[in-house]
Amino acid sequence: MAKNSSFFDNPVLKTKITSQNVKLQEMLIGYLVAPMCAMLANSIFGSYLSRYYSDVLGWTKFGAFSALLPIVSVIFVVAGNIIVGQWIDKTRTSAGKARPYLILSMPLLACAIILMFMTPTGGSNIVQMCFIAVTYNLYYAIAYPCYYTAHSSLVALSTRNPNQRGILSTLSNASMIAAAGVGASIIVPILLQPFMFVTDANGVIDIGASYANWRIMGIVLAVVTAVGIFLEYMFTRERITEEEMQLGTSKEVIPTKKHIEVCTKDKFWWMVILYVLLFQAGQLVKNTSMSYYARWMFDSVLSSSNPESASGALMSTLGLIGGLPSAAGMVIAWPLASKLGKKRAIIAGLIFSAIGGLVCFINVHSFPIVCTGVVLKAIGIIPAQYVMLALVSDVLDHLEAKNGFRSDGFTMSMYGSIMVGLLGLAIGIVNGVLSATGYDASLTRQAAGTEGMIIFVYLMMDVISFVAVIICLWKMDVEKYAKEDHDAIIAHQKAAVLAEGGKWIEPEERARLEQEEADRKAEEARKEELRARCKKQGLNFEEEEKKYQEKLAYKKAHPSIIDKFLGGM
């Protein structure tokens, strides 16, 4: 991507967000609805791709390939994320430095999703294995890193206002949770699982029909993903990148080696990266094994005449009861973190989750008891889920204050590598342990050793990760440096402007002037649109303008609850 690409100066690609403050439109579309659509396919893959490979393509017949492909591919996934991170650190356009890669990822992801479900059947195993390996890496090592590294950078680049950024972090994580919880764990299991895994009268999967339906799924998911990414691009804004560009100072291109050096020497950077790594590892292994647990561990499913439909209903129920606390948590997560502090809120919640997770082991075959444990875990992880990106942003600000430059690209490439690469590891771990213990989708019941592994990966892995995260974050005190870091960043910027003979304008004044200019242009555009409408409909412009001003005055005098909330940030 060119450093100052004029491609993004096209009015068609101009962001719809003009306010210097984060407003409702940006929150709901740019950070919640749009990314939820963009990540829906990936969430479905997290829950079902392993079963598609094993139960539809029958890749257990490939032996060690089923376990090794996702694990070996992590190397390429990490490389892909690092490369995109390097590009982001070197990019400066009118659209920002991360948002341009959202546009680039649109065609890449759409093509990759469709190709994943075009594996040739009826041929040699070698041809199938090669096709699976190529399409898997096209998606996970090239297309998705291009999207996800850019997406995950946006919260840190959106604003320096800690309250606004905290809310955006909450919504950004809520979009991923909604895609995984509502989409992949509730709607898909109950409505689409029998479509994805068609069974005959004996409850055995019809390979041909299932394969054909997955191809349809691929096309639909490609369209939903592309639309979601475009909306995310149009309804987000990188105010911090714009702030750097508006200073008018020459910007030294920091080599990747320097970014790596300053990040890896900072203890807070390591703490937050390990937190993301450990927490997501437990969640992804749990999510990947959820469909296996719902299919093989409950007697009501095993005795059903249509086990796929029955397991889909139970999986949907598990997703629903686990998702309800997450949905409620979107409202309470940031106020809780503001009151207790991010670190304290996360640790307290994970202690609760670890204790709650042990409830499942009272009876691992009892659906009500397993549901109870799932709910308790879901309640406890609310802070860890929602304030994760806010804590990462605090660390990025701390690094900027210490070093005089930001390391968003490298840090978010590591974040993206974890989020994307761990899914491959999770698939590899689950497939590996199931294959090693004799998993066979054609059986009416799995062997005791296989059941034991399903219990471990679904119920225990995340509990272990909670304990590890608690230990990791125990001395994470980056929040106490927030004001000091902010002052240092402003000092760096002022020194750079004055050193080059520029005129320093305080950030608040700069933001006010920019907002006034944006408001002026928006008001001119509104009046031109009103004049055109009045001319077309035979209305009086002065009368219509008076009506508009009266409505505006009433709204200012009687603000809604939402307006009051946003105004107080």
Summarised one tens digit per residue, pLDDT across range 13-59 is 888 888 877 888 899 999 999 999 999 998 888 778 877 887 888 76
**pLDDT(136) > 60:** yes
Contacts of residue 548, Cβ cutoff 8 Å, sequence gap at least 6: 530
If pLDDT is split at 50, 70 and 90, which confidence band does 166 have?
confident
Give the number of other Cβ atoms within 10 Å of residue 195's Cβ: 16
**pLDDT(423) > 80:** no
Average pLDDT over residues 500-521: 76
Distance CA 39, CA 143 (A): 12
Average pLDDT over residues 343-352: 94
Contacts of residue 10, Cβ cutoff 8 Å, sequence gap at least 6: none
Please state the domain extents for the chain. Answer: 6-485, 506-567
Confidence (pLDDT) at 561: 54
Distance CA 189, CA 181 (A): 11
Q: Determine whether domain 6-485 maps to CATH 1.20.1250.20.
A: yes
φ/ψ of 236, rounded to 5, equals -130, 165
Which is higher by pLDDT, 190 or 116? 116
Using a pLDDT cut of 70, give the percent of the chain over it. Answer: 93
Q: How far is CA 170 from CA 208, 263, 327, 385, 389, in A?
A: 42, 24, 11, 8, 8
Confidence (pLDDT) at 563: 56
